[in-house]
Amino acid sequence: MGRASWPRLAPAVDDRRMGVLSEQAAVRRLWDRFGFGAAPGDLTRPFDETLDRLLGAPAGGGTAPPELPVTTKPPKDDQQARKTANKQRAAQEKQLAAWWLDRMVTTQGADVTAERMTWFWHGHFATSAQKVKVPALMLKQNQTFRQRGLGSFTDLARTLVVDPAMILWLDGDDNTTGAANENLAREFMELFSLGVGHYSETDVREAARALTGWTVNRATGATKLVPKRHDDGPEEILGERAQFSAESFVDHVLERPESAPFVVGRLWFRLVSSTPPDKDTLDGLVGAYGTNRDIRAVLRAVAGTSAFRDDRTTLVKQPVEWLAGLLRAAGLRPSTLDDGVSTKLYQGLVALGQVPFRPPSVGGWPAGAAFLTTAAGLTRLRIAQLVAKTADLSTVSGKDPVEAVRVLLSVDAFSDRTRAALGKVAANPAQVTALAACAPEYVVSG
């Protein structure tokens, strides 16, 4: 279908009553924010029951991870070996991305929340295969996010500060006594735990000393502390002088009063709204986080805030979230798709600027309007056309295809402008589905 045959969608006008979401819309929002969108049948349970289901103990479902060997660097002077290694690494990265997308699409209940939080932490502790260059280590970090992402932030942070992919990503391998590398220490405080302005350059230098000596065994992928490379201190960090280990450094930083609001604020920013919570709401979320730094408790508290039920609280779906949700709604499992379709979906994410395991920087991916450019809109349309062409859309027919596609995609309501645009292609299930998937009401999670 040529691009010119598709009607242009005007920006939606939100003509819903301003106020509290309906029960079903609130349930839909739970699936959007704590998962990757609703699949058929997911909106039949009430809000509280759905919340309990999503925040329960994961059952460990989903596609098993691929078996990836830890690869070693080929000799610099062996060009053929380097080319072969690069091709193998690229193939493994694509395999990993496809496997993870499959889990996002197919897991249910608490398992899909575990995947959503794995995705969140991947953006928070952003680590890229582009520099790490060992897909097996990226997978190991991914599994850490999945296993610990709904538990204690303390446990997660302690693990990540000595994670092999993180050490390679932030040059921890070069951090040795007498020549401390500050990258990991700086980013841990600035981006992972405290935020800008809550530490000094002296704190960075001293924290780097505390983290010296951790190395990655590239043959096994394991990390270890090499005593002769470690500065045994003492160091003075954030006003305290001690012989800090990696673990005690993490604990000390997380005990700072700025840390809890920062971590809770990042969760709010990605799962609720780009508008910060008011003081009372923030205080309540910090209280739920508590001394155990309980992520699951924060999510439950988030769902109980008035902002979570406010129909004006919107988020632009990131490309991966959008695609995973569309595949869930369409009933398509990535691992069963034709290789040509899978490749085109991967290329589409590349064009949209968001590929799993390849964040652009340690700051992660942008949010909001960064993914609403004209070029992104055209790419989304091409991806949506491909999905719609592949899916069984027998339900998008009958007397009111526009209403049928609204139900399929779990959109609360289309604006009059969107409904009119969709009506022009309503006779073609693939066209109306693809266009609806690119409509503002679907691209933006209301």
Q: What is the pLDDT of residues 341-394, one digit of tens each?
A: 999 999 999 999 999 999 999 999 999 888 999 999 999 999 999 999 999 999
Please report whether residue 188 resides in a domain: no
Who has greater pLDDT, 391 or 19? 391
Please report whether residue 337 resides in a domain: yes
pLDDT at residue 214, rounded to an integer: 97
Please report whether residue 204 resides in a domain: no
- pLDDT band at residue 174 under the 50/70/90 scheme: very high
Please report whether residue 433 resides in a domain: yes
Please give the span between the terminal C-alpha atoms of the chain, in angstroms, as a whole number.
30
Q: What is the pTM of this model?
A: 0.94
Q: Which two tokens stand for residue 201?
A: 């350059």
Over residues 330-338, the mean pLDDT reads 94
Q: Which residue intervals of 255-398 are DSSP H helices?
A: 259-271, 279-289, 295-303, 319-330, 339-352, 374-390
Least confident of 6-10, 59-63, 66-70, 243-247: 6-10
Please report whether residue 22 resides in a domain: yes
pLDDT at residue 57, rounded to an integer: 93
Please report whether residue 436 resides in a domain: yes
pLDDT at residue 81, rounded to an integer: 82
Contact (CB, 8 A) for 18 and 436: no
Please report whether residue 70 resides in a domain: no
Amino acid at 352: L
Residue 412 has pLDDT above 80, yes or no: yes
- pLDDT band at residue 1 under the 50/70/90 scheme: very low
Q: Any idea how long the chain is? A: 446
pLDDT, tens digit (0-9, with 9 covering 90-100), for 108-158: 999 999 999 999 999 999 999 999 999 999 999 999 999 999 999 999 999
pLDDT at residue 74, rounded to an integer: 76
Q: Report the C-alpha gap between 138 and 171 in whole angstroms.
A: 15
Please report whether residue 38 resides in a domain: yes
Q: Which of 313, 267, 280 is nearest to 20 (CA)?
A: 313
Domain ranges, residue 33: 3-57+314-445
Q: How many domains does the chain have?
A: 1
Residue 8 has pLDDT above 80, yes or no: no
Question: How many CB atoms lie under 10 A from the CB of residue 35?
Answer: 27
